[in-house]
Amino acid sequence: MRAVDIIIKKRDKEVLSKAEIDFLIENYTRGTIPDYQMSAWAMAVLLNGMTDQEITDLTMAMARSGDMLDLSQAVDIAVDKHSTGGVGDKTTLTVAPLVAACGLPVGKMSGRGLGFSGGTIDKLEAIPGFQVDLSTQQFINQLKEHGIVLTGQSADLAPADGKLYALRDVTGTVQSIPLIASSVMSKKIAAGAHAIVLDVKVGQGAFMRTLEEARQLAEVMVSIGRLSGRRVIAVLSPMDQPLGNAVGNALELKEAVEMLHGVGPEDYRYHCLHLAAYMLILGGLAKDIPEGIGMAERAINDGSGFAKFRELVLAQGGDVRVIDDLKRLPKAAFVESVYAENGGWASVVDAKEVGETSVALGAGREQKGDLIDQAVGIIVKVKVGDAVDKGQVLFEVHANDPRKLQQAKERLKNAVKIVNRPVEKPPYFHGVIGI
């Protein structure tokens, strides 16, 4: 078998066999298929799609490219959550400790930033010393001992996805249902959680632009998860404007920790409480949403959620002083505001534009392996539906480079649309699949 023939087959819209998919993934993982061939193949998949059978075969080939954990040896039931990627989506950082504090172990493998969307691992690295590359054994030990573990894509778990994810990030091949579904589900299956809550983002700042595409992605992932014996649901959540206020690694970490203390934007709080509730329901600890929300709220109010986050940071070697005193987090040299040029109501706060501007400031990567700047990013000060006064601050830009700062300020002027009639606030959720 030759990689080039498999690329040509997909280019010509043919269906790949399990043997061909296995060959491609095994050899890419081993390094005998180079990045340029894998990029060409990924682009062919993006353009021509895959059947459900191909997506399942691809998911299982990537899951099997490394160790497959069985978390039953560590805990009775472990839950996981995964977002398909958005702007300002720091939910894991708040929700994982809240759920773990309620007594439900959370073992999660997270990603780095992808395209204009941020990644949990990059955000966690704003904490000096925080280890994101745990081995399989460390993952299991920590889950057993602390009931919470957040690791990056290790060399041991779904390494094929680790490589492909980084390649897709810089080759314009993120936005594909087969590639996203297999990427997410291979990690989830390899990491061995028994129950998984998927957060499928939809809108201008998400990889799925329409509700129909998002629903399709959610259905494929729920069905792959169930075929592999997991309890899975998918929440469809809007991503036309950033979630919460902060965009950028240290800024988002700060907002996530503040929410563990009960302080922060309403949309982010709603999102966290609901995702926590769904995780608690799937894990069998809550019977319904109100009960789950009540449990998560208690974990905020009694400080046990923050204590769990602290325990996580200590367990993974992070400097806990920066979360005890958030002023110690990395800070940008320049902080300047973008002001409203006229008054009215905000009808658009463009998440994609904000996400791309944040990447351009240095919060994300433009090329594989680029170093990111933890301190830079954007604080969004306006939400769709808000009344806006002329001269009001719309964004606060945190930058380390004066040229990038000016470019970001120019760009962000176009990220908000202000109209002269009231605008309805968008919903926080579009629905749930699989419950």
Length of the chain: 435
- Residue 65 binding ligand URA, by CB under 6 A: no
Q: Of 195 and 388, which has the nearer Cβ to ligand URA?
A: 195
| Number of residues forming the site for ligand URA (CB under 6 A) | 9
With CB under 6 A as the contact rule, the residue among 66, 107, 111, 292 that binds ligand URA is: 111
Give yes or no for residue 114 binding ligand URA (CB under 6 A): yes
| Residue 288 backbone phi and psi in degrees, to 5 | -155, 180
Q: How far is the CB of 175 from ligand URA (least distance, A)?
A: 9
Subset of residues 149 to 178 that bind ligand URA, contact rule: CB under 6 A: 165
Tell me the closest approach of the beta carbon of residue 229 to ligand URA, in angstroms: 20
Which residue among the candidates 110, 183, 237, 304 is catalytic per the annotation? Answer: 183
User: Catalytic site residue 168?
Assistant: yes
Decide if residue 56 touches ligand URA (CB under 6 A).
Answer: no
Q: Which residues contact 136 (CB under 8 A, 6 or more apart)?
A: 67, 69, 154, 156, 157
Q: Are the beta carbons of 183 and 217 closer than 8 angstroms? A: no
Identify whether 82 is a catalytic site residue: yes
Contact residue for ligand URA among 56, 120, 183, 245 (CB under 6 A): 183
Using rule CB under 6 A, residue 85 touches ligand URA = yes
* Pick 191 or 416: Cβ nearer ligand URA: 191
Question: By C-beta, is 228 or 407 nearer to ligand URA?
Answer: 228
- Looking at 81, 90, 112, 168, which residue is catalytic? 168
Residue 50 interacts with ligand URA (CB under 6 A)? no
Q: Report in angstroms how near the CB of residue 187 gets to ligand URA at its nearest.
A: 6
Q: How many CB atoms lie within 10 A of CB 263?
A: 11
Is residue 194 part of the annotated active site? The answer reads no
Closer residue to ligand URA in complex, CB, 168/308: 168
Residue 306 CB, shortest distance to ligand URA, in Å, is 27
For residue 183, indicate whether it is catalytic.
yes
From 64, 81, 82, 269, the catalytic residue = 82
- Give yes or no: 161 in active site: yes
Q: Specify the residue, 60 or 286, whose C-beta has the smaller distance to ligand URA.
A: 60
Q: Which of positions 195-254 make contact with ligand URA (CB under 6 A)?
A: none
Residue from 16, 24, 180, 275 touching ligand URA (CB under 6 A): that is: 180
- Enzyme catalytic residues: 82, 161, 168, 183, 187
**Can you give the binding site for ligand URA, defined by CB under 6 A?**
84-85, 111, 114, 165, 179-180, 183-184
